[in-house]
Amino acid sequence: MLVLAACGDSGAGNSSAPSTPSLVVSDSQELSSAPESSESSAPVSSEGQASSEAEASSEHILIAYFTMPEDVDTAGVDAISGASIMMRDGVKLGSCEFVAKTVQETIGGDLFQIETVQQYPLDHDPLVDQAADEKSQEARPELATQLENIDQYDTVILGYPNWWADLPMPVYTFLEEYDFAGKSIIPFVTHGGSGFSNTVGTIAALQPGATVSENTLSIARGDVVNCEETVIDWANSLGLD
C-alpha cells in the first residue's frame, strides 16, 4: 500500500529552488574523531531540550533524524548503510543530516537530531557488531536529546539509515517515548541498497494513532551526493510550506 520514492523519482518538479554549494564525499583523512557535527540543528539546551528556530521555520513541522558517526568506512559492506560524509561549505554532514537540512532549507521546520547518551563506535566493524547486538536484544538506547513540546507539531518528517533491514534502535526509543497520535509522520531513509525494508510498517505499528504518509523518500548511499534536487522536489511535493 505504501509507495516508496527512490532517489530521482520524487514527483515534484520545482526547479526554482535556490542553488546550494556542491557536495563531495570526504575521505577518511578529512574526518575528525568526533561524532557528526550538529551545529546547524535546532538548538538543544543543556537539559537536552530542542528549541524552535522561530523566524525561518514553519511552526508546525518537526524534522527529526538519526545520523551516523563520522569515521565509518562502509566500502563494500551493506549491513549498515547511510554513512557517507558530505562536505558542504567546509562543514561535514552525515547523509541523513544532509537530507534533513535540505528539507528544512526548502520548507522550514524545526530540526531535531536523535542522539544517544552512549556514543556509537567510530570504526565500521565495531559499529556493525553493536547495531546487530542491539537489534537481537531489542535494545532501547537512552536518548541524550529530548523534545520540549510535541503538541506544537502537526507533521513529523523522520529520517534514518536502514540498519540490518530495520530502524536503528535509537529510532525505536524515539518513537516509543513520544505519542504522535493525530499527527502525520513522513519517513525518509538512506540505505546501501535495501530501501526501506519494512521500516515504514514498523513506524505505523509503533505509532498507531498517527498517519504514516505514503509520500516517502528512499535514497541510496551512493546517490546522496547527486540527490539534492530530488530532495528539494520531494520536500516541495509534501505541500507543507
- Give 188-238 pLDDT, tens digit per residue: 999 989 999 999 999 999 999 999 999 999 999 888 888 899 999 999 999
> Which among 88, 192, 90 is positioned nearest to 131, based on CA atoms?
192
The C-alpha cell of 37 is what? 557535527
Q: Model-level pTM?
A: 0.73
Residue 143 bridge partners (DSSP): 116
Radius of gyration in angstroms for the set of CA atoms belonging to the chain, rounded to a whole number? 16
pLDDT at 154 over 70: yes
Statement: residue 133 has pLDDT above 90: yes
Query: How confident is the prediction for the chain on average, in pLDDT?
Result: 75
The answer to whether 211 and 183 are in contact (CB under 8 A) is yes
Check: CB of residue 128 under 8 Å from CB of residue 163.
no
Q: What is the DSSP letter of 18?
A: P
Domains of the chain listed by start with CATH number:
35-237 (3.40.50.360)
Q: Residue 112: its pLDDT value, please?
A: 98
pLDDT of residue 25 exceeding 70: no
pLDDT of 4 strictly over 50: no
Q: What is the pLDDT of residue 32?
A: 24
C-alpha cell at 241: 510550506
**Predicted local distance difference test score (pLDDT) of residue 178:** 98
Question: In this predicted model, which residue has the larger pLDDT, 93 or 21?
Answer: 93
pLDDT 10s digits, 33-80:
223 333 333 333 333 444 333 333 466 999 999 987 545 444 433 334
Least confident interval from 68-72, 151-155, 162-166, 171-175? 68-72
102 vs 83: CA distance, rounded Å? 17
Give the number of other Cβ atoms within 10 Å of residue 12's Cβ. 18
